[in-house]
């Protein structure tokens, strides 16, 4: 592990021509203080966690000082926002410091989100607030704990500098680390400007950095796009299986590496509702939970169009046709695992969908129901009363449970073995909105960050029974119904 000054900074994105980015320094913030530090993420960049004890630590991770080798910049991109193309977006409040090579030879981008105005800020102030920074910090680590590809968060640094949103709030900067911050919109901007050379240059850069097995392939661009399709389809299946809604699936928020990216008005579904809308700014439900798989494909079609100068229409269509079967296969497999199945069968889809329909009718808690299903007793005559009582139509549950029992008996495994398997894929804990809000309230009202750290530790181990944290798995209190999140979250 290394001290701050020993971090091996580089910035290969800065080696690209200036058309790709704008060089600038973060805008300083007064009197920074450390809110939380993620010791689990520190090894990704080889940072010794004891460095947080330095008096100047917060200065570096709020952008007031730069470490050796940093070449700060804001990245250019465009994107389709709620279905409409916006010709120039870019990092409006984020500054990429560079990338760090760790001891395993991996490169990780280090980005300060909330670091001040950039040429792409439009009418914004370039700042993030403590509230939204806590949400991203916790959710990115929650997703990692669930085994879902995501950006990571190293720390939050706060300042009492006032920021104006719906109300007056205080500023914060979250340090985000990821293999890359290139997104679908990074390609779209050059396509719509008719700038084919930069488009191909960006594709070559991404392939060299993240798809090196394709560098010498004569068909590297079509194969690259096909891999992006596969990664995106797989990510959508993972989101759906865990009940996660992103909230703003604009093409500028879609990672070219298939990472969960740009956390804002996200939500983990509680009562199962396929039409769940987590974003108060999306009343039409374009990005509702049950729309996410289709929007993933729509966004890929936008990327395909942007890549048409370097891949043929036929190659693009072939890759896009792989999306639906890839998604369906992965989603069915994940849901089968949630039911404790080790084999696939043609009747699995019906078994899954019937259960989800009953959950919808009964307003069953998605996470708790699947976690509790590991207690299902498969012996003939077992009533499974605790599960049965979670459904309005008990007779429908009885019919379904007979089908489930027959399916389990075909696999000839024991209930004990199945429970172990199911508890490894059905989380006990998720980042419920009221849990995040409680942590935010304590942080805002008295600089009490203990709940942020407590939640961070909990969500990094979401499948483990933690008896002292049992309340964190409970059904949300009544006041939680009134929490709303929007594009400003």
Structure confidence at residue 484 (pLDDT): 85
pLDDT tens profile 266-302 = 999 999 999 999 999 999 999 999 999 999 999 999 9
Mean pLDDT of 93-108: 95
Residue located via tokens 């009885």: 398
Structure confidence at residue 488 (pLDDT): 63
Domain that holds residue 84: 4-181
Cα separation, 334 vs 234, in Å, equals 10
Structure confidence at residue 489 (pLDDT): 54
Structure confidence at residue 371 (pLDDT): 98
Domain boundary among 134, 163, 181: 181
The CA distances from residue 160 to 170, 405, 423, 455, in Å, are 5, 58, 42, 23
Query: Is residue 385 a part of any domain in this protein?
Result: yes
Query: Is residue 468 a part of any domain in this protein?
Result: no
Domain boundary among 181, 200, 218: 181
1: tokens are 């592990």
Residue 238 clears pLDDT 90, i.e. is over it: yes
How many domains is the chain partitioned into structurally?
A: 2
Query: Is residue 21 a part of any domain in this protein?
Result: yes
Query: Is residue 312 a part of any domain in this protein?
Result: no
Residue % of the chain over a pLDDT of 90: 94
The set of residues, in sequence order, having a beta carbon less than 8 Å from that of 412 and lying 6+ positions away, is none
Cα separation, 455 vs 142, in Å, equals 9
Cα separation, 446 vs 452, in Å, equals 13
pLDDT tens profile 121-136 = 998 999 999 999 999 9
Chain centroid, CA 260 distance in Å: 3
Cα separation, 97 vs 66, in Å, equals 8
Whether 423 is catalytic: no
Count CB neighbours of 310 within 10 A: 19
- Choice among 252, 262, 282, 365 that is catalytic: 252
Residue 115 clears pLDDT 90, i.e. is over it: yes
Query: Is residue 189 a part of any domain in this protein?
Result: no
Structure confidence at residue 80 (pLDDT): 98
Q: Which uninterrupted H or E stretch holds 411? A: helix 394-411
Residue % of the chain over a pLDDT of 70: 100
Query: Is residue 355 a part of any domain in this protein?
Result: yes
Chain centroid, CA 102 distance in Å: 23
Query: Is residue 327 a part of any domain in this protein?
Result: no
Residue 417 clears pLDDT 90, i.e. is over it: yes
165: tokens are 């949103």
What's the predicted TM-score (pTM) here? 0.97
Mean pLDDT of 366-377: 98
Domain boundary among 181, 216, 251: 181
What sign for the dihedral angle of Cα 280, 282, 285, 287?
Answer: negative
pLDDT tens profile 157-192 = 999 999 999 899 999 999 999 999 999 999 999 999
């Amino acid at each position: 592990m290394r001290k701050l000054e020993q971090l091996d900074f580089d910035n290969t994105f800065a080696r690209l021509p200036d058309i790709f980015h704008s060089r600038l320094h973060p805008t300083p913030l007064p009197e920074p203080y450390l809110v939380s530090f993620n010791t689990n993420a520190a090894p990704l960049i080889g940072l010794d966690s004891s460095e947080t004890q330095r008096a100047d630590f917060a200065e570096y991770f709020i952008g007031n000082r730069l470490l050796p080798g940093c070449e700060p910049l804001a990245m250019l991109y465009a994107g389709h926002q709620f279905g409409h193309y916006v010709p120039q977006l870019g990092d409006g409040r984020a500054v990429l410091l560079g990338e760090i090579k760790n001891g395993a030879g991996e490169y990780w981008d280090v980005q300060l989100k909330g670091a001040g105005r950039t040429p792409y800020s439009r009418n914004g102030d370039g700042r993030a607030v403590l509230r939204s920074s806590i949400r991203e910090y916790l959710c990115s680590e929650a997703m990692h704990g669930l085994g879902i590809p995501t950006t990571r968060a190293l720390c939050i640094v706060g300042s009492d500098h006032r920021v104006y949103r719906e109300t007056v709030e205080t500023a914060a900067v979250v340090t985000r680390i990821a293999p890359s911050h290139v997104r679908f919109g990074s390609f779209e901007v050059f396509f719509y400007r008719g700038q084919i050379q930069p488009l191909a240059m960006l594709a070559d850069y991404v392939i060299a950095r993240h798809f090196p097995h394709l560098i010498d392939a004569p068909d590297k661009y079509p194969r690259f796009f096909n891999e992006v399709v596969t990664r995106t389809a797989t990510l959508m299946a993972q989101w759906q299986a865990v009940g996660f809604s992103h909230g703003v699936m604009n093409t500028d928020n879609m990672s070219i590496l298939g990472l969960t990216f740009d956390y804002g008005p996200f939500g983990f579904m509680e009562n199962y509702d396929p039409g769940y809308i987590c974003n108060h700014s999306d009343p039409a439900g374009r990005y509702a939970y049950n729309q996410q798989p289709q929007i993933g494909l729509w966004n890929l079609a936008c990327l395909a169009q942007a890549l048409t100068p370097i891949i043929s229409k036929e190659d693009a269509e072939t890759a896009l046709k792989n999306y639906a079967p890839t998604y369906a296969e992965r989603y069915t497999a994940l849901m089968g695992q949630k039911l404790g199945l080790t084999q696939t069968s043609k009747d699995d889809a019906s078994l899954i969908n019937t259960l989800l329909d009953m959950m919808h009718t009964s307003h069953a808690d998605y996470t708790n129901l699947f976690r509790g299903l590991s207690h299902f007793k498969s012996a003939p005559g077992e009533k499974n009363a605790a599960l049965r009582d979670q459904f309005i139509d008990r007779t429908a549950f009885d019919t379904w449970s007979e089908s489930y029992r027959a399916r389990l008996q075909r696999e000839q495994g024991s209930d004990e073995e199945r429970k172990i398997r199911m508890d490894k894929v059905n989380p006990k804990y998720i980042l419920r909105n009221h849990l995040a809000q409680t942590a935010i309230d304590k942080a805002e009202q008295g600089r009490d960050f203990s709940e942020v750290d407590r939640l961070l530790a909990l969500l990094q181990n979401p499948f483990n029974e933690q008896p002292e944290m049992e309340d964190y798995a409970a059904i949300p209190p009544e006041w939680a119904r009134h929490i709303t999140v929007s594009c400003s979250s």
